[in-house]
Amino acid sequence: MINGFGITGKKFLITGGAGFIGSSLARIISKNNEVIIFDNLHNNALKNTSLTDNPNLRIVTGNVLDYSTLEKSMDPDIEYLIHCAAIAGVDTVLKNPILTLNVNINGVFNIFKAAGKLTRLKRIIDFSTSEIYGKHAENVDEKALNLSISPEELRWSYAISKLSGEAIARTYYIHEKMPTVTIRPFNIFGPNQIGVGAVHNFVTHAIKELPIIINNNGSQVRSWCYIDDLVKGVLLTLENDIAVGQVYNIGNPDNTLTVYELARMIKLISESSSRIEYRETNYPDVELRIPKIDHAYEQLKFEPEINMEEGLKRTIEWYKIKNGVFH
Ligand SMILES: NC(=O)c1ccc[n+]([C@@H]2O[C@H](COP(=O)([O-])OP(=O)(O)OC[C@H]3O[C@@H](n4cnc5c(N)ncnc54)[C@H](O)[C@@H]3O)[C@@H](O)[C@H]2O)c1
């Protein structure tokens, strides 16, 4: 499916296109479409790819908070806009809580306001997060929002900002008839995840034989989704008009394991002798998070395919090459 993406010869704008998810989408979409990446290069996964050599791809360095640059990059031929630019990852968010709220709320506002001028727009994708389901999220579907997030704890400022983004997207859909789709990704991992995240941290430590540091006691449960499956889900929302106005969980409930089991599996596959260590966090943790993805299956026939072992093998292989470590 990823290789058989059905939209060709169109113009796309991907904000945050230099990041993990945005660059993975750009790689597929730019094979047969023009892609403008709009990114302030706060993170830059593009430097690990040959994407910058692709003549179908143009990079605009800009900040989604800078409305005039953003407006100028809105080429009237753009038909598909994917908004990935955000401040994400618990550690980054805790270090930059004000920036997080600013970029993830005002950035979304700017995007929708500027995109309102695009007369040929067929889709505008907003990236939310599974964090909005809070501390305990067992088989949650899109309607299961039982808010346990609170502004009292800075950890939740990310979830609150993303929920605000969803409200902006929803309001523009209802009041301005904009063709929005909201995606709630659940723990995505894979090659090119240059930022933060447990898989990134554990793999980079494992291949360097450094201690693998688990937050708290490692009994937290997560469902891990390989990047190709997330990309497949997003492409389906671009191809299918039924997706307009919808919110989708995109994740892989079959890849559910504890953080300790994840660390063990990474050690085993990378043949690492790293020790596993634990550290207490001073912020609330998510105990359990497993998505229900029936809505994406029923409307889009979305089915994740890559199991945990295969996803980790591919990921570890990539990190080994990039770190120059070969066994
Ligand atoms: N990776 C996951 O597991 C996951 C899970 C849930 C939600 N998400 C959401 O998916 C989207 C993409 O996440 P990702 O994992 O690729 O993160 P990422 O950090 O790799 O990518 C985000 C990109 O946004 C850019 N950016 C940040 N602030 C910007 C600004 N002010 N102006 C322009 N560009 C800016 C960064 O430079 C980066 O390239 C985000 O909205 C994130 O919240 C990701």
CATH number at 113 reads 3.40.50.720
pLDDT for res 23: 97
Calculate how far, in angstroms, residue 85's C-alpha sits from the geometric centre of ligand 1: 5
Residue 6 lies in a domain: no
Contact assessment for residue 58 and residue 37, using Cβ atoms and an 8 Å cutoff: yes
> Is 154 close to ligand 1, i.e. is its CB under 6 Å away?
no
Q: Which residues contact 288 (CB under 8 A, 6 or more apart)?
A: 136, 137, 138, 220, 221, 222
Calculate how far, in angstroms, residue 89's C-alpha sits from the geometric centre of ligand 1: 9
- Number of domains composing the chain: 1
pLDDT for res 194: 81
pLDDT for res 107: 98
Residue 327 lies in a domain: no
- The Cα–Cα gap between 47 and 49 comes to 5
DSSP-derived secondary structure for 268-314? HHTT--PPEEEE--SSPPP-EEEE--HHHHHHH-------HHHHHHH
pLDDT by residue for the chain (327 residues), tens digit each?
A: 566 899 999 999 999 999 999 999 999 999 999 999 999 999 999 988 889 899 999 999 999 999 999 999 999 999 999 999 999 988 888 999 999 999 999 999 999 999 999 999 999 999 999 999 998 999 999 998 777 778 888 888 999 999 999 999 999 999 999 999 999 999 999 999 987 789 999 999 999 999 999 999 999 999 999 999 999 999 999 999 999 999 999 999 999 999 999 999 999 999 999 999 999 998 888 999 999 999 999 999 999 999 999 999 999 999 999 876 543
pLDDT for res 1: 53
pLDDT for res 148: 76
Residue 1 lies in a domain: no
pLDDT for res 324: 60
Residue 4 lies in a domain: no
Residue 102 lies in a domain: yes
Question: From the alpha carbon of 22, which atom of ligand 1 is closest?
Answer: 16
Calculate how far, in angstroms, residue 271's C-alpha sits from the geometric centre of ligand 1: 31
* pTM more than 0.75: yes
Structural domain boundaries, residue 295:
11-322
